[in-house]
Chains A and B, each alone.
Chain A
């Protein structure tokens, strides 16, 4: 208990960094993933092919390797960035590839007739997506995506390997001073769990909210 009280101020900033990294990664990957996902499903074949290659390559690489490639490899290509942004970039690439697949799956689950119905009343492509496809796809997209958000928060602990002082690294630093790993790792585990459990509860709530639509 004593160690935990001692640690809390240090962990506060670490938690802030963890949440900041997660939020940037989630927001960027959502934007890019939806954009590329739509490109994969509806784009002309060169676009679809490029997205497909990107997604398959990224998803085939362990996220840890990806982080090191970005951090150590990109400077050699003349792209210098801080360890924070290198970590954010690597995690965003990884998450974007996942979002692309969620989008593909969600849009793919909508019957083709929906697009045709929307065409038949004269809606342009962007309106067909906005008013017909997306509102229906979102309920298929949300559960795996929120699950992916919890993965992103857990995965953000990997940024500690580049020396970014996130929650994980803050815990390690405190342990370096107290030499009592167990209570602090348990505390860390509890914090991650508390965040992610609330997210998955939210996900279940949203699923119930959308369940009134019959297929």
Chain B
């Protein structure tokens, strides 16, 4: 079944034990589109993101990237988990940037970026390093290529995290609260990089608490509450939507002091 959307999530359901985190989530992202998911904590937005590259399994519904189902294949009427090699190949197509960076502390910035290029994309060492230096330059860290993550600031580490993800040339980039662990004065440099990627036409699905940034940088904003998509609006209609959606209104009111 072909889909016109790059990412097509339908009726996605996921439970942790008895707690249902995602209840029939529908969401799609087209090529070149930037979609931001906002919502109160516990609304399932991070879980949703983690399902897209199968860091989290899901119980029902489907996630398709370019028409291929993520994590599972259908074997007649049965749904089976894909094999390890298959999963790894699919994950390489979806870049992910984490709240806690998850850089490899024993490798330099360049080596962090090179690892996937070498082992997954099978690039020779010299070419992998060139690509790594290119992307580190793009995030403003060309001069830090041979530093270990422990020698970098949080903002710099997160920019390496972004370089590591985009160097793989993923079809879609997933950003999971990438500025939440940063000191306020370091948030800007990371968001600038994301803005730049959006300008280059990178397809992105992000979860953030930076409402002002979400309004500014995304094509659509998805508001999640209680494991469901409660509203999907273009950024300029967020306030208007809030007038009709009590939960969105009360969620946004918490940001109104800082967002303007």
Contacts and interface: CB of A to CB of B under 8 A. Distances in A.
B102 A213 contact: no
A121 B93 CA distance: 8
A122 B115 CA distance: 10
A55 B98 CA distance: 36
A123 B116 contact: yes
Contacts of A114: 102, 104
B102 A117 contact: yes
Nearest to A136: B106
Interface in A107-129: 111, 113-114, 116-125, 127
Interface residues of A, number: 22
B89 interface: yes
B168 A213 contact: no
Interface string B80-103: 000011001111111110101111
Contacts of B106: 135-136, 213
Contacts of A121: 91-92, 95, 115-116, 120, 164-165, 168
Q: How big is chain B's contact interface, by range? A: 20 to 34
A121 B89 CA distance: 9
Nearest to A127: B119
Contacts of A136: 104-106
B119 A123 contact: yes
B148 interface: yes
A190 interface: no
A177 B92 CA distance: 72
B218 interface: no
A17 to B, nearest CB: 39
Contacts of B100: 111, 113
Interface in B37-84: 53, 55, 84
Interface of chain A, main secondary structure: helix
B201 interface: no
B150 interface: yes
A132 interface: yes
Contacts of B55: 116, 119-120
A208 interface: no
Given A120-B96, A122-B92, A123-B115, A213 B105 contact: yes
24 contacts: A113-B100, A113-B101, A113-B102, A116-B98, A120-B91, A120-B94, A120-B95, A120-B96, A120-B102, A120-B165, A121-B95, A121-B116, A122-B116, A122-B168, A123-B88, A123-B116, A124-B88, A125-B84, A127-B119, A131-B119, A213-B106, A213-B148, A214-B148, A214-B150
A212 B151 CA distance: 10
Interface of A: 111, 113-114, 116-125, 127, 131-132, 135-136, 212-215
A122 B89 contact: yes
Contacts of B104: 114, 117-118, 131-132, 136
A136 B150 CA distance: 14
Contact of A119 (B91, B119, B150, B164): B91
Contacts of B90: 122
Given A121-B120, A136-B104, 7 more contacts: A119-B55, A120-B55, A121-B165, A122-B89, A122-B90, A122-B116, A131-B104
Interface in B94-133: 94-96, 98, 100-106, 115-116, 119-120
Interface string B29-43: 000000000000000
A132 B95 CA distance: 18
Contact of A131 (B95, B115, B150): B115
Contact of B103 (A117, A122, A125, A127): A117
Nearest to B100: A113
Given A121-B115, A122-B89, A122-B116, A113 B164 contact: no
Nearest to A139: B106
A114 B104 CA distance: 7
Contact of A123 (B98, B105, B120): B120
